[in-house]
Amino acid sequence: MKIAFTGAHSTGKTTLLHEFSRIYDGKVVSITEVARTIISNGYPLGMDANVDSYINYVNEQLKSEFLYKNVQYDILISDRTILDTVTYAKVNRRLPRPFIPDSLIEMLENVWLLEKENYDLYVYFPIEFGLVNDGVRPEDLEYQKDVDAMALRLLEQHSVNFVRITGNVAARVEQLSKIVKKIGP
């Protein structure tokens, strides 16, 4: 089973991935922290993302997914997908700089539509917690809300099979465990 997490920054995606992986009785592999890899390689993300940022993000995400192509696992969870590049690029379209061409945003969306076929389920994380000031994630609450709304809009617009997970970490682990048990690894 392949599960994709999505939602705005600071919504608990990576936290749930780590906690679920720790308690799940089966082999879980994860694709995580692609965004931090991009940033550590010198490419800005969030409100400062540029064309090179998005291209490198897609490349790293696809490379990470490809690494698990021939690996045996019960569940693969990715805490981000190319949907996130589409979401942030569309939200950033309203910002004065850096300019992201509409043709790139359209291409990102088309790549995501291909990528999403590889996932059995998307898990959407609404905003429930305060922003975390970690020096990496944007701290603008309105920006976070715009990203959240865009992610949900894209899931619905493209009729993506997704569930919404809410509550504290323990509640989310329980919800995800029930979902996995219901649809099976």
Is pLDDT at 173 greater than 60 in this prediction?
Answer: yes
Q: Quick one: pLDDT at residue 112?
A: 98
Asked which of 33-47, 95-109, 125-139 is least confident by mean pLDDT, the reply is 125-139
Q: For 7-36, what is the mean pLDDT?
A: 93
Q: 3-class DSSP state for residue 141? A: helix
Query: Per-residue pLDDT for 61 more than 80?
Result: yes
**For 37-53, what is each residue's pLDDT tens digit?**
999 999 999 999 999 99
Give pLDDT, residue 150: 98
pTM for this entry: 0.92
Mean pLDDT along residues 106-132: 94
Mean of the per-residue pLDDT values for the chain? Answer: 93
Give mean pLDDT, residues 21-50.
93
Is the CB of residue 75 less than 8 Å from the CB of residue 119?
no
Rounded Cα distance, 164 and 6, in Å: 10
pLDDT at residue 114 greater than cutoff 80: yes
The answer to whether the beta carbons of residues 95 and 47 sit under 8 Å apart is yes
Give me the numbers of helices (H) and strands (E) for the chain, helices first please.
Answer: 7, 5
Mean pLDDT for 56-73 is 96
More confident residue, 94 or 115: 115
Average pLDDT over residues 127-155: 84
The pLDDT value given to residue 137: 56
Cα–Cα dist 61/134, whole Å: 22
Domain ranges of the chain: 2-183
Q: Which CATH number fits domain 2-183: 3.30.930.10, 3.40.50.300, 3.65.10.10, 3.90.105.20?
A: 3.40.50.300
* pLDDT for 136 beyond 60: no
